[in-house]
Chain A
Amino acid sequence: AQSVTQPDIHITVSEGASLELRCNYSYGATPYLFWYVQSPGQGLQLLLKYFSGDTLVQGIKGFEAEFKRSQSSFNLRKPSVHWSDAAEYFCAVAPYGQNFVFGPGTRLSVLP
Chain B
Amino acid sequence: EPEVTQTPSHQVTQMGQEVILRCVPISNHLYFYWYRQILGQKVEFLVSFYNNEISEKSEIFDDQFSVERPDGSNFTLKIRSTKLEDSAMYFCASSEEGGTQYFGPGTRLLVL
**Do A and B come together as binding partners?**
yes
Contact mask B45-83 → A, CB, 8 Å, 1/0?
100100000001000000000000000000000000000
Q: Which of A50-109 contact B (CB under 8 A)?
A: 90, 92, 94, 96-105
In contact, A97 and B102 (Cβ under 8 angstroms): no
Q: Which of B9-47 contact A (CB under 8 A)?
A: 33, 35, 41-45
Q: How far is the CB of B45 from chain A (nearest CB, A)?
A: 5
Taking Cβ atoms with an 8 Å cutoff, the residues of B that contact A are 33, 35, 41-45, 48, 56, 91, 93, 95, 97-106, 108
Q: How far is the CB of A51 from chain B (nearest CB, A)?
A: 9
Per the CB 8 Å criterion, the residue count for chain A at the interface is: 23
Q: How far is the CB of A2 from chain B (nearest CB, A)?
A: 11
The CA of A44 and the CA of B33, in the complex, are separated in Å by 14
